[in-house]
Structure formats: structure tokens, C-alpha cells
Amino acid sequence: MQKILDTKIDDQPPALLRLAFRPFFLLGAAFAVIAVLRWVIILQGWSTWKGSIPVFFWHAHEMIFGFVMAIILGFLLTAVQTWTSQPGIRGKLLGCLVACWCCARAVFWFNPNISWVYYWLPDFLLIISAGFFLARPILAQRQWRNLPFVPVLLIFAFLHSGFSLAFKAEHFTLAREFLMASFWLVVFLISMMGARVIPFFTARRWQSEQYKEPFFLSLLVPCVFLLVLMPDSLLNLAALPNPKSFAFFVLGIALSWRLYAWHHPNNWQEPLLWSLHVSYGAIALGCWILALSDSSSALNAHAVHLIALAGIGGIILAMIARVSLGHTGQPLTLAKAMPVAFALVFIAGLIRFLGPLFNDSASTVFYFLAGVLFSLGFLFYLWHYSALLGRPRKDGRPG
């Protein structure tokens, strides 16, 4: 059970700083909208990019370390309070983490011609500090099952540092490999958290027995992801015959197995469930496509965006919608627009994947449609949840 704090103490910080999901979900969703729309505008040629960092690197870095990282930190720093029954980070300390996130986004957004240190430091401090605040209650309560999330954050800090140093040295191939490794680390984290919460939510909703995953499967998936995370240049030095295609094939089997095991015939009646299952399925489908296509093909490149938009984006939207209700003391009843929002994000991923494959000459049109639909999905979230995130719980409980 979550520890109930003294409400007089909990009333001191503003409502937005009472638990990490509040500011980070709000900022992450807002940033997803404006960053994707800016990227679409640049791709359409309606705006020029004059930054010191090439626009592709800005887009990839900010979607991972700006948008996704905000959601990851909001989720983990909130969940750790439930896991350990220890107070979560709040108030001034949480405000400092939010300030680091905002400083990093401002530097990358405006891209001034300044030392690489200013690009590296805010995100590094953010991730390292969040790792400390995550590890402290886990270690105090000796909850070793939840400890792996801490080294995952440390790896994110390492990959961000590697990208910054590679860019400083103008080693753009290496910088891209650090970004791709960061992307696959996000996919790994999403798959790991999904394997915990999706079967739990499904069993709890339908009052059925929760699926217990075989130990070998829970061990196999992270081991295979280690191979996916390795830079291509390192694998080429090892002279291994197409190892990533094999890894994606194994992941396709493993993630599909999970989906089949989690299935319940009533899932389609509950948007908070079908959204998670469909998005997890998009990740599994993307892995199958990557396994069966040539690594240099357009199909391979577009499959990554299927995973990014329909998979990662879809799961994030579904999770923040559910967590925002649960941790503000609201019943798990969605606004009517939210199932539409889930569908829009998934359709955006399909358009971004299928459109350019069928008509490459009209790619910019499909990029525009996908970006607008994705942004619209998160706008629905902001419309319905912004006020909720900024006000105290009605039941008077902390959080």
C-alpha cells in the first residue's frame, strides 16, 4: 500500500509539483505536439532550420530525450512511491528536475552556436539525478526486482553523453549510432514495463487470473535487446553474419507470444486495454518487418517509424491517460475523445509506415498527415488532462 503522508506537509508545494507524473506528463505531451509539428513544418519546406546541429539529429534527440524521457521519468518517479511505500520526489527537488528538462529543451530548440557542454550538461544532470532519486527508496526497501530501472537510466545518460561527444568530434556516423541505441533502449524499456502492467491491467479489469510469464522468456528478451543495442560498426568489426536480423526475429516471436498470452476476448470493449495491446502489437510487427527486410531498404527505415509512432507513442498515450486518472483519485473512466486519440496515434504510425512505401513521390504528404494526427492525439490528452494535473486530489490524499 502507498504510504499516506501528512497532508499539511504535502499541501506545501503547488499541486503541479506534488508528484513527478504531473509536470513531466504535461510537459512531455505538450512538447510532443510542438516538436512534431515543427518537424513537419521543416519537412514541408515551410520553415528553414538554421541550427548548429543538423535537423535530423535535433528531431531524433528531442523525441527521445525530450518527449519520451519526460514520460519515462514521470512514470518511474511516480511508480517508485507505490513500489516502496516511500514518499516520491516533490516540491523544490522535483522543480529542479523540471528546470533541467526545460533548459535542455530550450538549448536544443534554439540551437545557439555555443559549446557542446551546454547541450550535454542539462540532460545529463536530469537523468543522473532522476536515477539517484529512483534508486534511493528502492535500495532502502531492498526491492531488487525494481532496481534494473536504475542502470537503464544510467545507460541513457551514457548514450546522451556519447552522442554529445561524437557530435563535438564531428563523427556523425557514431552520433547516429548513439541515437539509434537510445531509441532501442526506449523500446526495451517500453517492452519491459508493458510486460508488467498490461497483463496486470487485463487481469484486474476482467477479474481473471494474471498471466505468469515463463522465466526463460523474461530472460530472453533483455538478452536479445543487448544485441540490438550494439552499434552496427562494432558488430561489423566482430564479423558476425547479420546478427540484428536474427535478434529482431527472436523479438518478433517473443513479443507476439506475450500478446497471445495476454489476450482476453473482452479487451476490445475497454479502450484503456485495447490501446495498450494494439500498440504493443505494433512493436512486435515492426520487429518482424526489421527481421525480414534488408537493413538498407526503405521498408526497414519506415518500420522504425511504425514502432516509434504507433508503438511507443501509442503506449505512452494510453499509459499517461490511465496513470493521470489513477494518481489524481479519479475513476478509470475516459473522456469520449480519448479512444479517438488512441486511434489517431495508431493511424499516424500506419500512414507514416505504409504511405511512402506505396507512393514515395508523395512522402512529404504522408509525413504531414502522420505528424498532424500524432499531434492531435496528444492535444486531446492536453485538453482533457491539463486542468486535472494542475489541481490537488479531491480525496485529500497526497500525490
Grid cell locating 2? 502507498
Model pLDDT, residue 241: 62
Q: For 54-58, 294-298, 312-316, 329-333, which range has the lowest pLDDT when averaged over its residues?
A: 294-298
Ramachandran category for residue 30: left, alpha or beta (phi over 0 → left; psi -120 to 50 → alpha): alpha
Return the residue matching grid coordinates 507505490: 82
- Residues 95-110 as b/e (b if ≥16 CB within 10 A, e otherwise) read bebbebbebbbebbbe
What's the pLDDT tens digit per position in 335-366? 889 999 999 999 999 999 999 999 988 899 99
CB of 341 closer than 8 Å to CB of 388: no
Q: Predicted confidence band at 302 (pLDDT cuts at 50, 70, 90)?
A: very high
**Torsion 193-326-381-49 (CA) sign:** negative
Mean pLDDT of the chain: 91
Q: What is the rounded CA–CA span in Å between residue 326 and residue 396? A: 14
What confidence tens digit (pLDDT) does each residue in 179-226 have? 999 999 999 999 999 999 999 999 999 999 899 999 999 999 999 999
Percentage, residues of the chain above pLDDT 90: 73
Spatial separation of the C-alpha atoms in residues 252 and 221, rounded to whole Å: 10
Three-state DSSP state, 199 = helix
Q: Over the stretch 236-288, which tens digit does the pLDDT of each residue have?
A: 655 556 788 899 999 999 999 999 999 999 999 999 999 999 999 999 999 99
Q: How many CB atoms lie within 10 A of CB 234?
A: 10
Looking at residue 336, the DSSP 8-state letter turns out to be T
Of the pLDDT bands very low, low, confident and very high (cuts 50, 70, 90), residue 20 is: very high
Query: Is 50 exceeded by the pLDDT of residue 129?
Result: yes
Give the separation between CA 324 and CA 320, rounded to whole angstroms.
6
Q: What is the pLDDT of residue 2?
A: 42
Amino acid identity of residue 23, one-letter, is P
The residue extents of the domains of the chain are 7-389
The pTM of the full predicted model, rounded to 2 decimals, is 0.93
Query: The domain 7-389: what is its CATH number?
Result: 1.20.210.10
> pLDDT for 60-108, tens place per residue?
999 999 999 999 999 999 999 989 988 889 999 999 999 999 999 999 9
Amino acid at the residue 160: H
